């Protein structure tokens, strides 16, 4: 062995040597060292050391790559490969922690030459791992392992920052061990730098360039540290702006400032408002639906306020802002001096104490120019020159807010302006008020008016002051002729004076000779206007609202004949006026009739039955409303009474009764003119006098038959006979004779023939007749079974063969089924037939002999079942617990029977009173329902016997007894259940008969509804006291009937409303549809019933005159959309109910307005006209009255783009919108005004603003059309300055 040397690493000594041959004899070496990592005691004591060299460790491989850096408290491992030619022998591993402690590793031999070393470090720092193989230190030992712990890193993140500003946070890695710290912002897209603070403490920083959440990741040796990644919200403060911050704000009023903060967290915005005196002004803040911040404040000082706005402690751009506060109420406007035309009017304005702002002065909305001169700072003298008599309105505004006592009004007079403003007509009716009016009259005492009548009388008319400058002169003329009127003011005759008027009297026009007329025949009447004075006579003839031609023929002395030819059978009106005033009684109604349109119809116009009332109709239709008259003449010329009944539609029904056989005449006149077909001739006969004198009892096959009918006493009648064979074929008949009719026919079929004798197409009384056609000799049948039977009991009948030979065939057909029968031959040659019916009803028994039906076949047997006769309500409803019927003396007892299922029959009854005397009773029936009524006349026991078609009913006779009187009026009924209930909830009520005396049995309770009945349960809780309970399943209206001893008690029957188990108060109605809407358009409302429980939702909407259509759309989740379509404008009342109860807010009042109509919007003002920049008045108004519901939008584009438009109105209900914009340079401006998306008339308005007045004047001179437009705007519009 060769000593290679000694290396010193700190206090450790490593001795290296080489051995030339494996398995060489043992060698020894002495080592001196005072401290060693390999053993706790000094090796020097054991030196010299003897050891054996057995392996070559250079061939060993240690895979230590994953253990160079590991996590603290986490398992770590590495492998040792001893190669194939060397066994693992003895592997020993010594692991030393940073504190010098040894860790015992776990050595696992996974394969023959491969071992895995596992250990778990528990300290942060550098570990030394010594590996021995066969007591030899493996090459590379000691291996170093760096142990770290990212959870020991402390991070203080920053969660917010600002665009373009440095963002910093802190990271402390002093306790985490050795490793690499990685920081990435937005996955490295944003550069991040950091400064080293010493002792492994760092401050990373980065500068964001855009707003939003930024992800920051911090890793240590590629492991996330606690709190990583985290997000830093970056805010762009440049987006936080305050529009209109420079506008003035009014003192003592609530002012609003809105911050555009939609992308920011409004909670991080801090505002502070300081008054001029240094006091802090309270502010309130709220979030708008657009997520902007709305700030309201109410200043109490005039002057500049300081508004500081910070976001997360940093001032936004422009902060602090200057807020100017003013007080328009401090402005004083003096009284106006001057009130005459063409003389200046002057007043002063003192705005010295109002604060900063813009003062605006407008005379008559800017139509009158004014001059303003500053007297001293804040004080001004204003004057204007009125040029005409008028009321002048002086409006002074400060910062667009009206100042106190404004607008002021002053009336400027023109004392030379008296004139005739309304002259009376040249013609005036007598007795009607005549008047005219004068303008420019300010002093009525200086006015003198005289009127001179046609007879020369002068009088002073009534003078009435209308307003400050107008008056009305009136009088009533009573003479025909010419009146003269003269007026002077301040001694001067008023222009237009004197003037004359002529009077007339339309009441003196006479109209006569007006009579009803006929269609297509000339009609004439006369008009006399000779006493009416001068004037024009106007005559018009109208029908159905249309005028028809007429001819007016003068006959002298102002008298006329009027002719016209009517074309329709309607009332014509003569409209006659004199000087456009209707004459007395005009219009005059003239009836025009058309007899051809009157129609008489009915069988009684051709034939009638003696001693019977007959009737016919007269249809007047459109005949013209004339008078109707009808008469009837008998066979001997006598008058027969006739009754005329006019119907609601104007037609007539005529009735008469003939009392003898013969020919009658009917005359019908309409306005004294016979109608079409008049006179009518009627044959009157007597069907009771018709006799069938020869009628065979039966018919024989193929044998001629004769029937005779005597008509000699019946009168002249229409006679016919119809005979129908058993198979429904009409049998040919031959009728001979006049008064005595002989009917000949020959039957060809067996069976029953139907013979109908027809008198005037109606069956003679007693017909049709039925005759059976058979052979001359056939077997016969007899027995009770042919006539009747009882259900489920055998019935019998017999067939006598008459000694004939042949085959008997019997078939029995029931109402629903065929019934089996058994035929047994008897010793005498006859047959007994037995059958058992299993249903009730009519049974047809067909009996054939040798294939031919015998006489009487088919026989009809009535099968019944008395056991199916039922008492309505059941036997228990009338009997007590002893099966006895309780009666009260002299009180009527009613028992109802239902025989629907009992089969054909008749119910009969007998009642035996005490002493076996018969008790009177009344038994009525309506179809299958019978009602038995009787009253007990004696005390004691009664027996009621009942039979159905002579068969005794089960449970009869009924025993009945009289009882002592009880006072049912003292029975008390109480409880919630007699009035209302909810489905699926048990409800009860109490029937208390404890104070009613002697009561027998139980209360009889019936609970009935339209859809179902409800069972009521009785529980006795005391003597004659019962608790009645029920549980309804279906909602609706029900009747609760409570009887005791067969009498209704209390207020029975009660009406009980069964409602849904719901709570209408939890129904939520929302949407604009419950506030307002537009006519003809659906308005919507969302209804949420999910919390209200099951129920029925209804809606009804009523307008001023019409019902609005309502429709629900079911979303299938408990919510509904209600569509309401109004048909008229005005207030609508919408009722929304849930289970017939109003929901919260119902009834709703909805205002319905007309649809938007952009054509009704008017735009006017100087802001839509040409002008000059330095004095341009950019105001204009938009009048939307009459345009319906809609939204006004105003867009203005100038030379360099869009302009902001200020829009306001005095109140929400005001339909006038004031608009204003602020042009900053000359050029073309386009003003787009739309109402609900549609351009209003004139829009878009193209306006050019010039730099100088000379440019504008030059433009108007070269463009006459533009000049004319400007002039029209100034004349027609109410302009706003």
pLDDT of residue 1137: 92
Highest mean pLDDT out of 68-82, 266-280, 639-653, 810-824: 810-824
For residue range 894-907, what is the model confidence (pLDDT) as tens digits? 999 999 888 888 89
On whether the CB atoms of residues 1054 and 1047 are closer than 8 A, the answer is no
DSSP secondary structure string, 815-872? Answer: SSSEE-EEEEE-TTS-EEEEE---S-EEEEEEEEETTEEPTTPSEEEEEE-GGG-EET
Query: In this model, does residue 193 exceed pLDDT 60?
Result: yes
177-181, 883-887, 1063-1067, 1187-1191: the lowest-pLDDT one: 1187-1191
Least Cα distance to 1067 among 1142, 984, 1135, 1124 occurs for 1142
pLDDT of residue 47: 54
723: left (phi over 0), alpha (psi -120 to 50) or beta: beta
User: Which residues are 1208's β-sheet partners?
Assistant: 1218
Query: In this model, does residue 89 exceed pLDDT 70?
Result: no
- State whether residue 633 is helix, strand or coil: strand
**CB count in 10 Å sphere of residue 294:** 16
The more confident residue out of 1279 and 716 is: 716
The more confident residue out of 478 and 965 is: 478
Mean pLDDT across 1126-1150: 88
Query: In this model, does residue 314 exceed pLDDT 90?
Result: no
Q: How confident is the model at residue 11 (pLDDT cuts 50, 70, 90)?
A: very low
For residue range 336-345, what is the model confidence (pLDDT) as tens digits? 887 777 788 8
On whether the CB atoms of residues 1181 and 1278 are closer than 8 A, the answer is yes
pLDDT of residue 32: 38
Q: How far apart are the first and last CA of the chain?
A: 120
* Interstrand relation of 980-982 and 345-350 (parallel, antiparallel or unpaired): unpaired
Q: How confident is the model at residue 1212 (pLDDT cuts 50, 70, 90)?
A: low
Q: How confident is the model at residue 262 (pLDDT cuts 50, 70, 90)?
A: low
For residue range 929-948, what is the model confidence (pLDDT) as tens digits? 999 999 888 878 899 999 98
The three-point CA angle 946-949-951 to 5° equals 60
Query: In this model, does residue 228 exceed pLDDT 60?
Result: yes
On whether the CB atoms of residues 1140 and 1133 are closer than 8 A, the answer is no
User: What is the residue-averaged pLDDT of the chain?
Assistant: 83
- State whether residue 221 is helix, strand or coil: coil
Q: How confident is the model at residue 666 (pLDDT cuts 50, 70, 90)?
A: very high
Handedness of CA 814, 818, 820, 826 (dihedral sign): positive
- The CB-side HSE value for 6 (13 A sphere, CA atoms) comes to 10
- Please list, residue by residue across 1060-1096, b when 16 or more beta carbons sit within 10 angstroms of its beta carbon and e when fewer do: bebebeebebeeebbeebbbeeebebebbbeebbebe
Instruction: Report the predicted TM-score, pTM, of the whole model to 2 decimal places.
Output: 0.32
Instruction: Give the C-alpha separation, 831 to 786, whole Å.
Output: 14
Query: In this model, does residue 13 exceed pLDDT 70?
Result: no
pLDDT of residue 640: 87
């Amino acid at each position: 062995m060769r000593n290679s040397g000694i290396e010193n690493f700190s206090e450790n000594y490593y001795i290296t040597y080489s051995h030339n041959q494996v398995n060489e004899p043992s060698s020894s070496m002495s080592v001196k060292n005072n401290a060693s990592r390999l053993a706790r005691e000094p090796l020097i004591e054991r030196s010299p050391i003897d050891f054996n060299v057995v392996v070559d460790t250079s061939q060993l491989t240690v895979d230590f790559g994953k253990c160079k850096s590991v996590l603290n408290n986490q398992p770590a491992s590495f492998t040792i490969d001893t190669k194939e030619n060397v066994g693992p022998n003895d592997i020993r591993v010594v692991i030393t922690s940073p504190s010098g402690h040894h860790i015992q590793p776990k050595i696992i031999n996974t394969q023959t030459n491969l071992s895995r070393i596992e250990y778990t470090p528990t300290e942060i720092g550098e570990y030394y791992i010594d590996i021995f193989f066969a007591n030899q230190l493996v090459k590379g030992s000691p291996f170093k392992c760096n142990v770290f712990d990212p959870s020991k890193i402390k991070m203080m993140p920053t969660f917010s920052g600002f665009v373009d500003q440095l963002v910093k946070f802190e990271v402390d890695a002093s306790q985490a061990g050795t490793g690499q710290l990685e920081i990435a912002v937005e996955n490295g897209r944003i550069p991040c730098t950091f400064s080293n603070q010493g002792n492994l403490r760092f401050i990373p920083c980065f500068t964001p360039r855009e707003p939003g959440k930024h992800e920051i990741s911090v890793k240590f040796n590629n492991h996330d540290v606690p709190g990583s990644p985290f997000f830093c919200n970056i805010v762009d403060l440049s987006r936080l702006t305050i529009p209109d911050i420079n506008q003035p704000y009014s003192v003592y009023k609530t002012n609003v400032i809105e911050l555009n903060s939609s992308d920011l967290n409004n909670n991080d915005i801090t505002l502070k408002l300081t008054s001029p005196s240094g006091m802090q002004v309270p502010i309130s803040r709220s979030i708008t639906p657009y997520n902007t911040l709305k700030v309201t404040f109410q200043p109490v000082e005039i002057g500049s306020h300081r508004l500081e706005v910070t976001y997360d402690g940093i001032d936004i751009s422009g902060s602090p802002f200057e807020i100017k506060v003013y007080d328009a109420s401090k402005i004083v406007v003096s009284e106006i001096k001057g009130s005459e035309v063409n003389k200046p009017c002057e007043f002063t304005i003192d705005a010295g104490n109002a604060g900063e702002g813009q003062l605006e002065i407008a005379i008559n909305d800017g139509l009158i120019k004014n001059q303003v001169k500053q007297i001293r700072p804040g004080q001004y003298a204003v004057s204007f020159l009125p040029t005409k008599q008028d009321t002048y309105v002086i409006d002074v505004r400060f910062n667009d807010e009206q100042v106190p006592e404004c607008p002021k009004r002053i009336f400027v007079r023109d004392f030379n302006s008296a004139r005739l403003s309304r002259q009376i007509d040249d013609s005036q009716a007598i007795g009607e008020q005549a008047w005219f009016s004068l303008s420019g009259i300010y002093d009525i005492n200086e006015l003198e008016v005289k009127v001179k009548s046609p007879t020369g009388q002068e009088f002073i008319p009534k003078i009435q002051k209308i307003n400050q400058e107008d008056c009305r002169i009136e009088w009533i003329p009573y003479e025909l002729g010419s009146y003269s009127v003269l007026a002077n003011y301040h001694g001067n005759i008023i222009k237009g004076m004197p003037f004359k008027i002529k009077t007339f009297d339309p009441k003196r026009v006479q109209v006569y000779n007006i009579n009803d007329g006929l269609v297509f025949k000339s009609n004439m009447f006369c008009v006399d206007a000779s006493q009416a004075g001068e004037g024009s006579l106007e005559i018009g003839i109208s029908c159905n609202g249309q005028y028809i031609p007429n001819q007016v023929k003068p006959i002298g002395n102002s008298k006329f004949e009027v002719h016209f030819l009517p074309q329709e059978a309607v009332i014509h009106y003569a409209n006659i006026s004199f000087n456009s005033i209707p004459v007395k009684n005009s219009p005059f109604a003239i009836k025009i009739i058309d007899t051809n349109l009157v129609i008489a119809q009915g069988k009684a116009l051709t034939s009638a039955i003696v001693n019977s009332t007959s009737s016919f109709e007269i249809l007047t239709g459109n005949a013209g409303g004339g008078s109707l008259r009808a008469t009837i003449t008998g066979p001997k010329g006598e008058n027969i009474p006739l009754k005329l009944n006019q119907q609601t539609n104007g037609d007539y029904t005529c009735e008469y009764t003939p009392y003898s056989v013969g020919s009658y005449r009917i005359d019908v006149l309409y306005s004294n003119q016979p109608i079409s077909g008049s006179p009518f001739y009627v044959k009157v006969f007597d069907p009771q006098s018709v006799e069938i004198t020869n009628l065979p009892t039966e018919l024989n096959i193929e044998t001629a038959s004769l029937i005779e009918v005597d008509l000699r006493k019946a009168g002249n009648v229409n006679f016919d006979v119809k005979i129908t064979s058993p198979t429904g074929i009409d049998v040919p008949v031959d009728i001979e004779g006049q008064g005595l009719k002989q009917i000949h026919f020959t039957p060809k079929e067996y069976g029953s023939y139907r013979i109908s004798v027809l008198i005037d197409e109606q069956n003679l009384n007693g017909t049709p007749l039925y005759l059976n056609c058979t052979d001359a000799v056939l077997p016969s049948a007899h027995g009770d079974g042919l006539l009747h039977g009882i259900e489920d009991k055998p019935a019998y009948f017999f067939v006598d063969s008459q000694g004939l030979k042949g085959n008997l065939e019997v078939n029995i057909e029931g109402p629903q089924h065929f019934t089996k029968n058994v035929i047994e031959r008897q010793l005498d040659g006859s047959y007994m037939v037995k059958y058992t019916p299993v249903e009730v009803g009519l049974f047809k028994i067909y009996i054939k002999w040798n294939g031919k039906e015998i006489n009487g076949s088919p026989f009809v047997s009535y099968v019944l079942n008395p056991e199916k006769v039922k008492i309505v309500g059941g036997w228990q409803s009338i009997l007590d617990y002893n099966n006895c019927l309780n009666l009260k003396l002299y009180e009527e007892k009613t028992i109802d029977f239902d025989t629907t299922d009992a089969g054909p029959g008749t119910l009969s009854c007998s009642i035996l009173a005490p002493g076996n005397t018969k008790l009177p009773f009344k038994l009525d029936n309506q179809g299958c329902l019978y009602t038995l009524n009787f009253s007990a006349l004696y005390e004691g026991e009664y027996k009621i016997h009942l039979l159905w078609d002579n068969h005794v009913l089960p449970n009869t006779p009924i025993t009945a007894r009289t009882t002592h009187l009880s006072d049912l009026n003292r029975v008390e009924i109480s409880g919630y259940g007699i009035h209302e209930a909810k489905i699926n909830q048990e409800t009860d009520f109490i029937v208390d008969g404890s104070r009613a005396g002697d009561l027998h049995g139980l209360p009889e309770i019936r609970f009935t509804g339209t859809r179902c009945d409800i069972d009521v349960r009785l529980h006795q809780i005391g003597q004659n006291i019962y608790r009645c309970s029920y549980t309804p399943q279906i909602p609706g209206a029900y009747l609760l009937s409570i009887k005791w001893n067969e009498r209704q008690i209390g207020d029975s029957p009660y009406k009980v409303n069964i409602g849904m188990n719901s709570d209408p108060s939890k129904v939520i109605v929302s949407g604009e549809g419950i506030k307002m809407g537009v006519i003809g358009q659906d308005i919507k409302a969302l209804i949420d019933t999910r919390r209200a429980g099951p129920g029925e939702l209804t809606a009804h909407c009523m307008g001023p005159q019409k019902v609005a259509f309502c429709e629900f759309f079911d979303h299938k989740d408990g919510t509904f959309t209600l569509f309401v379509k109004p048909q008229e404008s005005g207030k609508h009342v919408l009722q929304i109910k849930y289970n017939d109860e109003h929901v919260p807010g119902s009834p709703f009042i909805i205002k319905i307005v007309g649809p938007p109509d952009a054509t009704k919007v008017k735009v006017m003002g100087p802001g839509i006209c040409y002008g000059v920049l330095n004095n341009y008045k950019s105001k204009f108004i938009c009048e939307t009255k009459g345009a319906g519901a809609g939204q006004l939008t105003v867009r203005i584009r100038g030379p360099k783009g869009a302009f902001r438009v200020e829009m306001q109105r005095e109140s929400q209900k005001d339909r006038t919108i004031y608009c204003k914009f602020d042009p900053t340079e000359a050029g073309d401006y386009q003003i787009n005004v739309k109402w609900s998306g549609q351009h209003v008339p004139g829009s878009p308005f193209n306006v050019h603003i010039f730099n100088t007045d000379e440019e504008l004047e030059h433009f108007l001179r070269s463009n006459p059309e533009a000049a004319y437009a400007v002039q029209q705007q100034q004349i027609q519009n109410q302009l706003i300055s």
